[in-house]
Amino acid sequence: MALQVYSAAPRTSVVQSSSPYGVMAKQLCVGGDYPQLMRRKERRLSMSVGVRASLDATEAAAAAVAEVGRVTEVTKDTFWPIVNAAGDKTVVVDMYTQWCGPCKIMAPKFEQLSGKYNDVIFLKLDCNQENRPLAKELGIKVVPTFKILKNSKIVKEVTGAKFDDLVLAIDTARSS
């Protein structure tokens, strides 16, 4: 049960249901509706307190490690720590979404590339609602988008499901 917040004015009242994720509903009661609503709420209202625990963002970032030879899933919290830890190694990031058809076609090919290049770190970022701030920061407008970074700076970008262009961009970034 979410926390219920009640505020009463002489003739009108606002009942607001809220949860850890934001306001769920608001109801405006006029005059005599408020006491009746309160009685209904009291019958259903039971006090329970829950604590939702999660790792601190810094702990999650410290726990994230990218392995060479395989693709590592990253989030907005783990992306920059992994990229910064890579130093002068080439980092290739696949920005995708779950619903994207071309992204699904490129996923196994991207996985194969991670096995081919032993000196390159391969990451993938789901551009969902949770990771949207990072996707905006990186300038993602189209999926799939592949960003190639070196020394924490973007050096190449490939948009769309263009496998040959991606291989060429990786080879160019590695040699520079």
Q: Which one is catalytic: 83, 103, 123, 149?
A: 103
> Could you tell me the CA-to-CA distances from 128 to 53, 54, 132 in Å, in that order?
22, 19, 6
Handedness of CA 97, 103, 107, 113 (dihedral sign): negative
Q: Is 35 helix (H, G, I), strand (E, B) or coil?
A: helix
- Do residues 160 and 144 make contact, with C-beta atoms less than 8 angstroms apart? yes
Write the CB contacts of 146 (distance below 8 Å, at least 6 apart in sequence): 92, 93, 94, 95, 157, 158, 159, 166, 169
Q: Which one is catalytic: 60, 85, 100, 107?
A: 100
Please give the DSSP secondary-structure letter assigned to residue 37: H
Q: How many other C-beta atoms lie within 10 A of the C-beta of residue 8?
A: 13
Annotation marks residue 127 as catalytic: no
Annotation marks residue 100 as catalytic: yes
Please give the DSSP secondary-structure letter assigned to residue 128: S
Write the CB contacts of 49 (distance below 8 Å, at least 6 apart in sequence): none
Catalytic residue IDs: 100, 103
